[in-house]
Each structure stands twice: as structure tokens, then as C-alpha cells.
Amino acid sequence: MGKVNIGLRGWRFDEDVLGEDGRVRPLATMEPEDRQRILVLADRVVDPCDACWLEYGDDKIAECNVAEVIYGEPGGEVVLCSAHEPDFLYWFREAGGSEYAGDLELQDAFHQWIVDGHRAPEGYEGLEHVDEDPTSLPDAPDRSEAIPGFEEEIAEMDESDLEAIDVDLDDLDV
Ligand SMILES: [Zn+2]
């Protein structure tokens, strides 16, 4: 089965997370871990890059680039613009970040590294963008198309469904 990015590069999903119309399937039909990642993604896809936000702060939010890529585990994820992605990759590979792989502490640890003023060395490329993955869908939908508002769906869920989702709904503007 092919893998797709939805909205942001980084996290990849089995393509059957998308329905035939190219949109994310109803949450109730998904595996719990996909559902959790989709909900975090829906929340973060509209955020500014974490590193931009740490640099500029809420006062100059307009200066921040939009998030383009997401790394880490749901709840400890980091979103980045293309300009800051090399900083994350450098931190992860060369500056001790890999010890946080799979760990929710990754987000705080990376943020602290940025706040402390560290960056990748000038010219650090990170990775050549290997977006030409043969297994990815050629026309994976863009972020606004693919990720519907989940407000209605969440409103219809009962308590046990909501508990199963296990994300902080306060973050989701529902
Ligand atoms: Zn940025």
C-alpha cells in the first residue's frame, strides 16, 4: 500500500486513510493511532513554524513562515518551515536530538535548543528533498482539501469515542 503525506511533509500515512474523494476518511473508521495523528495534524497544519514562532513570538506572528513539515510523535511533535528544517535535522543528527526519538520530550528539547540560540551551521543542507517517493500518491491532496474540519464529527461522538481519541480537544478549537 502506498504512503501519503497529508497537509505537511514528514508524517506518512497509509493511503487508505484517504477516501476515494481524496479526503481524510471519517475518524471513526480509522485505527486509533492514525486518528490521533490526524487530529494533531489538523491542529498543527495551520500553525506557524515552531522555530519562527520562538524567534518572533506572538507579537510578530505575521513574520513567521507557515509549517511545511512535521516531525516527532503526536503530542511531542515539531512543525517547521523549509528554512528551519535544516536546523531540526542538524539538531537531531549531530547535536544529540536523536536520543529523543520516539519521546514526547523531543518538542521541548528542540525548542530549548532553538531558544538557546543554536542553529545548523551555514549551508547545512539536511536532506535533498526526496519528494519523488515512488510509493506516494502523485496527487496527494493539499492541506485545505484533504483535512476537513472535524468539529461536526467530534460533536457527534459519544464519551467513550472521545476518550479513545486521547488528544486534548481544547487545542482543536471545537
Ligand atoms: Zn521557520
Q: What is the largest CA-CA distance in the chain?
A: 51
* pLDDT band, residue 101 (cuts 50/70/90): very high
Digit-coded pLDDT (tens) for 146-155: 666 676 676 6
The mean predicted confidence, pLDDT, of the chain is: 83
Residue 8's DSSP bridge partners are 6
Amino acid letter at 138? P
122: CA distance to ligand 1 center in Å?
Answer: 15
129 or 71, which is more confident:
71
What is the distance between the alpha carbons of residues 21 and 51, in angstroms, rounded to a whole number?
34
Cell 490521533: give the residue. 36
Cell 505537511: give the residue. 8
Digit-coded pLDDT (tens) for 29-74: 999 999 999 999 999 998 999 999 999 998 998 999 999 999 999 9
pTM for the structure as a whole: 0.77
51: CA distance to ligand 1 center in Å?
Answer: 5
139: CA distance to ligand 1 center in Å?
Answer: 26
